[in-house]
Chain A
Amino acid sequence: MAYPYTHERETRVISRGFGEPEARTLDGWKALGGYQGLKKALEMGRAEVIDVVKASGLRGRGGAGFPTGVKWSFMPQEKQGPHYLLCNADESEPGTFKDRELMRWTPHQVIEGCLIAAYAIQAEHVYIYCRGEFFETNQVIARAVEEAYEAGLAGEDILGSGVTIDVTVHQGAGAYICGEETALMESVEGRRGLPRVKPPFPAAVGVFGKPSTINNVETLCAVPHIVVHGGEWYRQWGTDESPGTKLFCVSGHVRRKGNFELPMGFPLEDLLYDVCGGFEKGRKLKAVIPGGSSVPFMTAEDCKDCSLSYEGVVEKGSMLGCASVMVMDDRTNIVKQVRRTVDFFAHESCGQCTPCREGTTWLSRILLRIERGKGTEEDLDTLVDLGRQMTGTTICVLSDSAAAPVISSIEKFRDDYLALIRRGEAVGTA
């Protein structure tokens, strides 16, 4: 059974269990080498685990790309109370669908990563904050946690090492903002998911006021492999600044949509035309959003010679984010899709900061007016001005995320806006 689509140019490290029903069970996962990383980590000692992860250069896969080993080393060495590890499985960035696949195909990979990370940062409790809508995924991962407990891989005295780590699957209740690290902590504490002002950073004051570390599902999935094979092994893929492999979630107007695990630095054009099979006959590329709804648009021109690494995408004026590549061909109505994106942010704004709470709604209203052919050219200046005022002025980056696609689309697809404003004609139907 082939996972929806696979391609020979993929390097399947964390996704090799996709499409393999056996990989979901504890025995099946062990047969694939599962839990060797945990065993080895417990023998290595905490400092060495952190050193290996640092050496691998693994960067956070949740969007920000912060080096994982460095993040772990921020945790206090001298323990003065509980430490917590949070696994961010609140996947809800539009265009992203990798964590759900990782959890439902390879739940034990996620759990093993959590246990190694928790061991390294001396956490005694792991909360896997799983998105509320993922009923099925929740069952799968929770069942796997139970299996891990039964096999002595979680709970007290893990594998006879004397280490105790509890794991709890915590189900969310539908709020995009809870994917933001401090909002997620608030949510675990039973509060509204309002992001906190930083500093203090989570490593000092995290969930329940205790030192905490939060990692994305995909980041934690890479950890067991790095521990088993070493940091240098992981660096055989990718670039100096972005080592390793990454799941690319491709959606939109390509022939083969899906998750593809590729080395970092893979050429974007090869992803679109080779791995994903290009476009339907007679269609051509119009725009790409390379990292989920929060990042600036790229034009077809920008996509030329673009390397899919954190630094490579920045060079082209956008961001890799969580590598959610949303592809739009020439029938796309950019204004409509930007408006839809902004509607999403308006819905998901937590309402704490004025620029975001008011700004997202204003953007949405102005865009809707333009979409209906009642906009003016002045509106475009207002949108850009408003977007700039929403950038860097709030507690978290949701506001910046809402502004980025608006500003970049006006810059790069101005003609689409002008067609609506001057002639009332939409470019594209999708």
Chain B
Amino acid sequence: MSETRKPPERESIPFRNPGWAGNTGEFELSEREVRGDDYVGTRPADGGHPSRATSYPYMLEKKDPSAPLFSGSYRERYEKILTRYPDTRAALLPVLNLAQELRGHISQETMTEVGALLDLSDAYVRGVTTFYTMYNKRPVGRFLIQVCTNVSCNLCGADDVLEAFLEHTGTELGGTSTDGLFTVMEVECLAACGFPTAVQINSRYYESIEPGDVPALLKHLREQGAE
């Protein structure tokens, strides 16, 4: 953006999320620390109360494209989902969400399997899957980095943030880095316009990100990915 605004490179991990605390925009508390484990991160394996079963699939780091649809606790969540709607078709989106949580993307085979579960044709499931942008049609990296470049963030330099992510991960837009760690994409407005630039990495929001934050953030993710 303009020359007047050259942020220094930060060494700390930018977990800043001004929606959560402080009016300085500079804080280190994660949601987990603010809210406690009960709210973030942990969840009964079977999905808890049926009202919850249809929501919050995670974008898991570890993806298993050959995981069965569905067994164990996932089977329980699947069955709970079905109880929340008057017909099985309505369960399609939550079930696709669940499949993506498990497998990381929705392949043609996954569409067929989901269709068989819910008694819907392949073509129908494909039609729905391709309509919604959050279903990855191709495998993605361990960390799916989505940078908001819509107007509010764009005014505050989102293009530079996106550029920094591409440069420091060495990928092209929409591509996955050779080590399989990062996929970088543009995303439409993440509804965090007051805290530009908003970046979503897997299921987590990182807010008020500036180009200078990117190297430290990626370093942190690399360490996490090596675990």
Contacts and interface: CB of A to CB of B under 8 A. Distances in A.
Q: Are A and B associated in one complex?
A: yes
Interface in A186-225: 187-193, 208
Contacts of B23: 2-5
Q: How large is the interface on A (under 10, 10 to 19, 20 to 34, 35 or more residues)?
A: 35 or more
B38 interface: yes
Interface stretch (B62-70, B153-161, B173-181, B209-217): B153-161
Interface stretch (B7-15, B126-134, B163-171, B218-226): B126-134
Contacts, number: 220
A40 B21 CA distance: 34
SS of A interface (majority): mixed
A215 to B, nearest CB: 18
A36 interface: no
Nearest to B97: A171
B162 interface: no
A96 B52 contact: no
A328 B152 CA distance: 9
A97 B2 contact: no
B55 interface: yes
A146 interface: yes
Interface residues of B, number: 68
Given A143-B38, A171-B57, A94 B188 contact: yes
Listed residue (B133, B134, B152, B156) with the most chain A CB atoms within 10 angstroms of its CB: B152
A136 B204 contact: yes
Contacts of A140: 35, 39
B90 interface: yes
A173 B135 contact: yes
Interface in A144-173: 145-146, 149-150, 154, 166-173
A142 B2 contact: no
Interface in B57-89: 57-59, 84-87, 89
Contacts of B18: 4, 258
Contact of A337 (B50, B131, B154, B194): B154
A26 B189 CA distance: 31
A253 B93 CA distance: 38
B110 interface: no
B117 interface: no
A192 B221 CA distance: 35
A171 B151 contact: no
A1 B192 CA distance: 20
Contacts of A101: 19
A291 to B, nearest CB: 13
A91 B35 CA distance: 23
A187 B35 CA distance: 31
Interface stretch (A52-60, A125-133, A237-245, A379-387): A125-133
B51 A190 contact: no
A429 B49 CA distance: 51
Contacts of B51: 142, 145-146, 149, 154, 166-169
Contacts of A249: 193-194
B119 to A, nearest CB: 12
Given A170-B93, A293-B150, 13 more contacts: A1-B22, A91-B191, A94-B189, A96-B189, A100-B191, A138-B55, A146-B48, A149-B49, A149-B51, A168-B54, A168-B84, A171-B54, A172-B93
20 contacts: A4-B25, A24-B35, A94-B150, A94-B152, A132-B97, A136-B40, A142-B56, A154-B51, A171-B94, A187-B93, A192-B131, A251-B196, A252-B151, A257-B193, A293-B150, A332-B155, A341-B150, A344-B150, A430-B1, A430-B156
Interface of A: 1-5, 19, 21, 24, 82, 91-97, 99-101, 104, 130-136, 138-143, 145-146, 149-150, 154, 166-176, 187-193, 208, 249-253, 257-259, 280, 289, 293, 324, 326, 328, 331-332, 336-337, 340-341, 344, 347-348, 350, 429-430
